[in-house]
């Protein structure tokens, strides 16, 4: 079970919400002098159909929430039979040979294969988390050479995270609960927590060497 | 230009001083990689060990084993083009 049947009367980490704008600020380069502030920046605002709460449950409130838009999944995911059976497998650790389609695994040079085997049971697509199909989500078509697939799987990308001020979000309970559409089950929320924690907690190789 | 004996001794003496970075002709410095370090070793012209003159972090620190292990996840993005 990916979604909770009976939702809490509170906003929770991983909830699917509607009615919150997404903001993407862009600059051409660093604005190093205040006099150039008016040059070369852009702020895109749009209204995604659904957003996902990425504030930890206890940190929702005080008029601030962290969100990310729910977006369509990559069509190439459907080329991997292991993912095709259940796209939410991308959310969990897997065996090395399950991370790519079998035809690609077979063609891996021995060094590449060895690299993955040494890595063992682990995550892939660290920045992504798949949201299970739901009748609430609009279906869309994945265009493929062999056959098109209709799906309503969606996903979030941790790199798209932004904060939004909303004075009506005072506490998790004292918030616009009519904007809440879906709540993750305990297990799915735990998987989201594990994966995003891993995403931020991984140590680059350059730092690992100094820890040895 | 010929050097007077006194000058020659002086130059020889100067090159052997602790503050000198000059390397007498024929002597050489090699870099020996040990784990994550690079050790600078001074050798005579006949490759006899003189001493260690420096130790620094190896910028190419990833051993073959490190290169193939412990990235913490499977990076397979390139096999799933958009």
Q: What is the pLDDT of residues B37-53, one digit of tens each?
A: 888 888 888 888 888 88
Judge whether A208 is closer than 8 Å to chain B, CB to CB: yes
* The predicted structure's pLDDT at residue A78: 94
Q: How many Å lie between the alpha carbon of B36 and the closest alpha carbon of chain A?
A: 7
Indicate whether B52 belongs to any domain: yes
Which of B57, B67, B76 shows the shortest C-beta gap to A124? B76
Q: Enter the pTM of the model.
A: 0.75
Cα-Cα-Cα-Cα torsion A112, A210, B73, B66, nearest 10 degrees, comes to 20
Judge whether A5 is closer than 8 Å to chain B, CB to CB: no
Judge whether B76 is closer than 8 Å to chain A, CB to CB: yes
- The answer on pLDDT for B20 being more than 90 is no
Indicate whether B7 belongs to any domain: no
Who wins on pLDDT, B54 or A124? Answer: A124
Judge whether A85 is closer than 8 Å to chain B, CB to CB: no
Predicted confidence band at A4 (pLDDT cuts at 50, 70, 90)?
very high
Q: How many Å lie between the alpha carbon of B30 and the closest alpha carbon of chain A?
A: 23
Which of B57, B72, B80 shows the shortest C-beta gap to A74? B80
pLDDT tens column, A177-193: 999 999 999 999 999 99
Residues present in chain B in total: 82
CB–CB contact A123 B73 (8 Å): yes
CA–CA separation, B64 and B33 (whole Å):
13
Q: What residue numbers bound the domain in which B54 lies?
A: 24-66
- The answer on pLDDT for A158 being more than 80 is yes
Indicate whether B18 belongs to any domain: no
DSSP B78: G
Indicate whether B41 belongs to any domain: yes
Query: What is the arithmetic mean of pLDDT over A165-175?
Result: 97
Cα A192 from chain centre? 8
Judge whether B18 is closer than 8 Å to chain A, CB to CB: no
Extract the tokens encoding A67: 């969100």
* The predicted structure's pLDDT at residue A191: 97
Q: How many Å lie between the alpha carbon of B46 and the closest alpha carbon of chain A?
A: 35
Count of Cβ atoms closer than 10 Å to residue A15 Cβ: 28
Predicted confidence band at B72 (pLDDT cuts at 50, 70, 90)?
confident
Predicted confidence band at A29 (pLDDT cuts at 50, 70, 90)?
confident
The rounded mean pLDDT for chain B is 72
Q: How many Å lie between the alpha carbon of A148 and the closest alpha carbon of chain B?
A: 16
Q: Give chain B positions within 8 Å (CB) of A79.
A: 80
Judge whether A121 is closer than 8 Å to chain B, CB to CB: no
Nearest residue in chain A measured CA to CA from B68 = A115
Indicate whether B35 belongs to any domain: yes
Q: How many domains does chain B divide into?
A: 1
Who wins on pLDDT, B10 or A118? Answer: A118
Nearest residue in chain B measured CA to CA from A195 = B73
Indicate whether B31 belongs to any domain: yes
Which of A76, A79, A115 shows the shortest C-beta gap to B68? A115
DSSP B53: E
* The predicted structure's pLDDT at residue B24: 62
ipTM of predicted assembly, 2 dp:
0.78
* Distant-in-sequence, close-in-space partners of A15: CB < 8 Å, separation ≥ 6: A52, A53, A180, A181, A182, A183, A184
Judge whether A84 is closer than 8 Å to chain B, CB to CB: no
CB–CB contact B81 A76 (8 Å): yes
CB–CB contact B77 A125 (8 Å): yes
* The predicted structure's pLDDT at residue B65: 53
Share of chain A above pLDDT 90, in %: 77
Indicate whether B9 belongs to any domain: no
Indicate whether B38 belongs to any domain: yes
| Number of A–B residue contacts, CB under 8 Å | 62
């Amino acid at each position: 079970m990916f979604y909770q049947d009976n939702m809490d009367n509170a906003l929770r980490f991983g909830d699917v919400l509607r009615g919150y704008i997404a903001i993407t600020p862009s600059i051409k380069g660093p604005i190093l002098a205040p006099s150039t502030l008016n040059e070369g920046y852009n702020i895109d605002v749009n209204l995604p159909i659904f957003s996902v709460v990425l504030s930890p449950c206890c940190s929702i409130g005080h008029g601030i929430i962290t969100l990310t838009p729910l977006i369509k999944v990559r069509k190439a995911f459907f080329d991997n039979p292991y993912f095709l059976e259940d796209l939410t497998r991308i959310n969990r650790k897997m065996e090395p040979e399950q991370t790519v389609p079998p035809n690609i695994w077979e063609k891996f040079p021995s060094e590449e294969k060895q690299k993955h085997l040494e890595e063992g049971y682990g995550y892939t697509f660290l920045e992504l988390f798949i949201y299970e199909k739901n009748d609430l989500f609009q279906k869309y078509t994945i265009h493929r050479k062999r056959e098109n697939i209709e799906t309503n799987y969606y996903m979030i990308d941790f790199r798209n995270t932004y904060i939004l001020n909303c004075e009506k979000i005072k506490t998790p309970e004292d918030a616009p609960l009519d904007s809440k559409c879906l709540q993750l089950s305990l297990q799915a929320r735990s998987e989201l927590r594990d994966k995003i924690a891993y995403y931020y907690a991984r140590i680059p190789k350059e730092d690992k060497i100094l820890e040895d | 230009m010929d050097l007077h004996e006194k000058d020659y001794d002086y130059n020889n003496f100067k090159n052997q001083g602790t503050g000198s970075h000059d390397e007498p002709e024929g002597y050489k410095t090699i870099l020996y990689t040990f784990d994550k370090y690079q050790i600078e070793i001074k050798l005579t012209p006949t490759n006899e060990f003189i001493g260690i003159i420096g130790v620094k972090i190896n910028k190419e620190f990833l051993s073959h084993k490190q290169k193939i292990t412990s990235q913490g996840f499977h990076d397979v993005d390139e096999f799933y083009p958009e």
